[in-house]
Structure 1
Amino acid sequence: MNQPMADVRDMFMVHTMMRREFGLLPQLVREVTAGDTHRSTVVGRHAALMCVVLHLHHEGEDLILWPLLLERGGAQASIFVPKVEDQHHGIEAALEEVKELLPAWTATAHNGERLAEAFEVLRDRLQEHMAVEEEEILPLAAKVVTAAEWAQLGEHSLSNSPKKDLPLVFGMGMYEGDPDVVKEVLSHAPPAARLIMPLLAPRLYARHAKRLYGTATPPRAGRL
């Protein structure tokens, strides 16, 4: 191919964000006092947002990335794409369990231990999956997927996400993101977003984290 190829570094940024946020969720749920619905609403809304982010991220891979890799990735793709597809099924099952439990807990702040355990299952399956992607899938994608095709993954999530949540989610990624990767991602955004997002998104996440974790600087993914 003579076209520019995928710059997959943005996927590592997304993975870091998910490791951090899903890694912290079990403890967040456990720390909510039974019956404290004010606090369960804060944590529950964050958890629901992360569930949407994860679902859209994996849906984009299912629809866009796996077919491209199977078409072009040869033996490596034939081995590892079925593996990550199976992992997606396991993650989706864990996600459904969380989504079944989350509304009642958010409304009542009761039976939190069951929800925390469900988040632990989801976290563990997600971490295993992301490790395989980073070791096998992303290096392959960088070789056989074009930059234009790779951009469709981000477009899928953007077009299906509530617009009001996008600056906050981007701020979550920026918190541990490589500034060069952040700059590259924003280079494809409309001019107004390129100017505003570097200022707005980190502030939104800092305020969100302060409310959620009690600090604007929660533990980084590598320290969990």
Structure 2
Amino acid sequence: MAVVSTVEEQHKAIDRAYLRPARLLPNRRSAGHGGEALADAFELLLAVVIAEKPKKELALTIGMAMYEGDPAVVKAVLAHTPLPIRLLVPVIGRRRYASYVSMGRPGRRAWAP
């Protein structure tokens, strides 16, 4: 049960870090300002996600975010990354998540990118 409580705490930390960019993004889109605060919020979210996941699972995490998350948020996060990362991360992340889901994990449905 220790694993379950650890995972629950990780999810809570990520949820808390996600709330700020989720609140700031609509204002950025409509008013065109607040970019610095939004960038800071995304940096915090990324730091929390990275801290909560082993590095070998980052591609899986990114793929999961791309599958489950809002495409506009994923695009906004990637917009602030260097070009090679912007080009490679979506491909690697999708493939890694598709591979993970198709492994027949209990309670998971198959997904093809």
**What TM-score bracket applies, with the shorter chain setting the length?**
0.5 to 0.7
In structure 2, how many angstroms separate the alpha carbons of the residues matched to 1:190 and 1:203? 20
* Partner in structure 2 of residue 215 of structure 1: 110
Instruction: Specify the alignment match of 2:30 in structure 1.
Output: none
State the Cα RMSD in Å. Answer: 3.5
Structure 1 pair 164–196 and aligned structure 2 pair: CA distance change class (3 A): same
Percentage of pairs with the same residue: 30
What's the TM-score, normalizing by structure 2?
Answer: 0.60
Contact 2:102–2:110 (Cα < 8 Å) also in 1: yes
Q: Displacement, 1:186? A: 0.8
The secondary structure found in structure 1 opposite 2:111 is coil
- Does the 8 Å contact 1:57/1:153 carry over to 2? no
Match of 1:54 in 2: 11
Query: Aligned to 1:197, which of 89, 92, 97?
Result: 89
Structure 1 gap ranges (5+): 1-44, 66-132, 218-224
Q: Does 1:169 align with 2:64?
A: no
Greater radius of gyration (CA): 1
Greater relative CO (CA pairs within 8 A, separation 6+): 1
- 8 Å contact from structure 1 (residues 171, 202) kept in 2: yes
Distance in 1 (alpha carbons) for counterparts of 2:5 and 2:11: 10
- Contact 2:64–2:94 at 8 Å: present in 1 too? yes
1:193–1:142 Cα change, 3 Å: same
Q: Hey, what's the Cα distance between the residues in 1 that align with 2:82 and 2:24?
A: 29
Per-residue deviation, residues 167-208 of structure 1 (Å, max 9, x unmatched): 101111111434333221111223332111111111111111
Instruction: For 2:95 and 2:80, locate their aligned partners in 1 and report how far apart those are by CA, in whole Å.
Output: 22
TM-score by length of 1: 0.34
What letter matches 1:57 in structure 2?
I
Match of 2:43 in 1: 152
Distance 1:48 1:165 in 2: 19
Contact 1:186 1:194 in 2 (8 A): yes
Contact in 1 for aligned 2:102/2:109 (Cα 8 Å): yes
Task: Report SS of the residue matched to 2:80.
Answer: coil
CA 1:201–1:159: 2 relative to 1, 3 Å: closer
How big is each residue's C-alpha offset from its partner over 1:67-125, in whole Å with a ceiling of 9 and x where there is no partner? Answer: xxxxxxxxxxxxxxxxxxxxxxxxxxxxxxxxxxxxxxxxxxxxxxxxxxxxxxxxxxx
Contact 1:171 1:203 in 2 (8 A): yes
Structure 2 alignment gaps of length 5 or more: 28-33
Residues 171, 205 of structure 1: 8 Å contact kept = yes
- CA distance in 2 between counterparts of 1:158 and 1:51 reads 13
* Matched length: 97
